[in-house]
Structure 1
């Protein structure tokens, strides 16, 4: 991955990703702490999480078409500046007196409502900002920025909460969102193709995506494969507290150590992605990454000692980065320019749907046996390995027949001297 020039737009986008990840890492911790302090229970935070899930299923229906019909860079900039301004204003209010419960919940939901716009716009902007040959490298470094920002945010939040209280975190979180908005505004790039508005309502533009899923062989499978690594993270986070309770007596220190081990593994894997793809090919790299995650879940189910658990969390993070980066790059290149925003939000919708189906089942298994729950996680990720094999055999994958167009046709978006990116 050395020597790859991401260009000024790509560098600015990475800076924005780091800043917004830092803010997100602080906000969740600070909001949870404040809600618990105000109510004395986790019930209020649970209500926020439930409403956030409702937003996850509804807001993307509006966000995807909006991003594709407008300028993703301007939309992303506006979202970040709005979130940053709101957090700083609310932070000032809460620092001046008691923290109103309604303000805390409204602030958390406001941030969550902006995420589908931000994610859809970033998914759409990346191929326009970074040359095709460097897109995989950009996605790998983007993952580093996300993990590093979340780590830094959690660390800074702990210091701020200890010294000045949780309310002060919102000022720094808001500043992070503002910096992200300014960085994205500075990322000058060609504007992706915009689709003319059709139909009534902001969510009336999903017809081309539905047609694409129906007419292009394997695209639906590819979209489903794009949820694999996020699902693995959801399952790991779901079982993390039980793992720490079993092996480390529920220590908050070891909880942080496990979380950090996953993030460090993800960061360390990014520079090795290029050589790994050269040796195994993109399709092989995805299968290897998913298989590695399945084996890690199975090994955790066997109940190894504490140090081994930390090592497995590190390997899990590394394997997650390998497959996530390659699948995301292939999906970005395969999606037509005019529908990339909707494809990005569609992937998030599918992820939320799969999570909603799996989390109750795995949670129920964990009540009976943590080992059974971890084995269920291994089976889920192993099923994605089989799906990756099916996607690899599809025609019309990137690097073969080109990228999918808005109308279900395909077109080649890479020049002859650019690195070939194939579907996984």
Structure 2
């Protein structure tokens, strides 16, 4: 029975991993608090849905524009030093956000510029941090370490927005931004004790050549490519968040309490599945788990689009969140165990782009389809398209279908 719970061996055996996990958890909490704070500030400044939507654009565009180049840079130098520099940059952006909140003299475009600058720093820091777990843990514990990363991130996704709202009400904008800056300092401390982490193998070529080498690897490695295509299918074809208010209005009378539960149900499923991921990580078959999880996500959302009972709908969203959490964990395990270290920065950057930009594209797709038809139609068609895409990936990538075992330590 104990094997069903999340494997905590990395916490027991690696003090370095413990520090990294604490720093990352605190930083993720601060980031979710800031997400709420920025959205609130922009709305208060403009009372415009278009400007509120621009917050997501300011976060996504730097990741897409700079991500692969940042990954190539990461694969040329000391990943520890690059991560520390990027973390300092994010903390400085939070301090500047706090300063403008206290002074009140910056226009909304200036706020979004600071958000974009912080996202550009994250585009560098994310690929650098992507090599930490496989370098500090033995290979048989990598999946367990990633599961611990995920369960803490999912928990902060539940706690962060609510805590951010409370802090806003009690202390105001500036204090929330200052807390985010402090959270980055905790992340800095977590990584400061790492040794130098240069790439193992031939360093990336400079500039566009290094980017092309990374893309060539992705095009040629069927397993890693299949993992990223599966994630695109989940995010672009069946992202449901933008449809929840419409579905709530169409099916459940527009009750805000129901809407709030819908928003939380996916995260609750993700936390529960991550906490009970021990069986999956011990199984050592991330490819098969990823495909099954992505397929269940699509099927559960399609069924949710047909539901008339809010409680049955909540149950399906919990199932969808659990399936997605296991799929994400398995995809990340595949990327970090099947990619050579010298290319890991660039591949992690591509994974970050898919994970960040994909949901924005998926919400836009869902909104367009719902505008032309209905919210239920957008959900059902998106879920079914996701399921078909997963079947297509599975059929074309027998290595994933067979399981893609994680390498074991000698």
For normalisation by structure 1, the TM-score amounts to 0.84
**1:140-151 alignment runs, 5 A limit:** 140-151=147-158
> Which residue, 121, 131, 143 being the options, matches 1:124?
131
Deviations 1:54-112 (A, max 9, x none): 32321113211111111222222221222113312431342244554243222211222
CA 68–93 in structure 1, closer or farther in 2 if over 3 Å, else same: same
Give, in angstroms, the shift of residue 147 of structure 1: 1.4
1:46 aligns with 53
- Structure holding more helix per residue: 2
1:421 aligns with none
**1:17-166 alignment runs, 5 A limit:** 17-97=24-104, 100-166=107-173
Alpha-carbon contact 1:289-1:320 (below 8 Å) kept: yes
Alpha-carbon contact 2:140-2:409 (below 8 Å) kept: no
Secondary structure in structure 2 of the residue aligned to 1:389: helix
Deviations 1:386-407 (A, max 9, x none): 1452365139x9967x9xxxxx
Distance 1:361 1:135 in 2: 35
> What runs of 5+ residues in structure 2 fail to find an aligned partner?
1-5
Deviations 1:297-321 (A, max 9, x none): 1211112312222222221111111
Deviations 1:131-177 (A, max 9, x none): 11111111111111211122222111111121232333211122222
Aligned residues: 402
1:269 aligns with 273
Alpha-carbon contact 1:91-1:167 (below 8 Å) kept: yes
CA 64–322 in structure 1, closer or farther in 2 if over 3 Å, else same: same
Give, in angstroms, the shift of residue 296 of structure 1: 1.1
Distance 1:307 1:249 in 2: 14
Give, in angstroms, the shift of residue 249 of structure 1: 4.5
CA 210–361 in structure 1, closer or farther in 2 if over 3 Å, else same: closer
Matched, 1:378 2:383: yes
Give, in angstroms, the shift of residue 203 of structure 1: 3.9
2:300 aligns with 296
Give, in angstroms, the shift of residue 381 of structure 1: 2.3
Matched, 1:176 2:188: no
Secondary structure in structure 2 of the residue aligned to 1:10: helix
Distance 1:36 1:365 in 2: 26
CA 389–399 in structure 1, closer or farther in 2 if over 3 Å, else same: closer
Distance 1:229 1:142 in 2: 21
Deviations 1:279-331 (A, max 9, x none): 69434322331222122112111123122222222211111111111121012
CA 308–270 in structure 1, closer or farther in 2 if over 3 Å, else same: same
Secondary structure in structure 1 of the residue aligned to 2:48: coil
CA 8–192 in structure 1, closer or farther in 2 if over 3 Å, else same: farther
Distance 1:187 1:125 in 2: 9
Secondary structure in structure 2 of the residue aligned to 1:307: helix
CA 51–86 in structure 1, closer or farther in 2 if over 3 Å, else same: closer
Alpha-carbon contact 2:77-2:198 (below 8 Å) kept: no
Deviations 1:348-389 (A, max 9, x none): 334567557654442222122111111122123213431452
Alpha-carbon contact 2:236-2:361 (below 8 Å) kept: no
CA 354–164 in structure 1, closer or farther in 2 if over 3 Å, else same: closer
Give, in angstroms, the shift of residue 272 of structure 1: 2.4
2:3 aligns with none
Alpha-carbon contact 2:236-2:365 (below 8 Å) kept: no
> Which residue, 315, 320, 323 being the options, matches 2:319?
315
Distance 1:391 1:331 in 2: 18
Alpha-carbon contact 1:83-1:114 (below 8 Å) kept: yes
1:409 aligns with none
Cα RMSD for the two superposed structures: 3.0
Deviations 1:250-302 (A, max 9, x none): 45544433232222211111232232465694343223312221221121111
Secondary structure in structure 2 of the residue aligned to 1:5: helix
CA 198–290 in structure 1, closer or farther in 2 if over 3 Å, else same: closer
CA 8–304 in structure 1, closer or farther in 2 if over 3 Å, else same: farther
1:9 aligns with 16
1:208 aligns with 213
Matched, 1:330 2:324: no
Distance 1:99 1:174 in 2: 19
> What runs of 5+ residues in structure 1 fail to find an aligned partner?
403-412, 417-424
> Which residue, 362, 365, 368 being the options, matches 1:364?
368
Alpha-carbon contact 2:72-2:211 (below 8 Å) kept: yes
Matched, 1:415 2:409: yes
For normalisation by structure 2, the TM-score amounts to 0.87
CA 304–284 in structure 1, closer or farther in 2 if over 3 Å, else same: farther
Distance 1:381 1:280 in 2: 25
Distance 1:256 1:13 in 2: 32
Alpha-carbon contact 2:76-2:199 (below 8 Å) kept: no
Give, in angstroms, the shift of residue 341 of structure 1: 0.6
CA 83–210 in structure 1, closer or farther in 2 if over 3 Å, else same: closer
Distance 1:301 1:252 in 2: 18
Secondary structure in structure 2 of the residue aligned to 1:177: helix
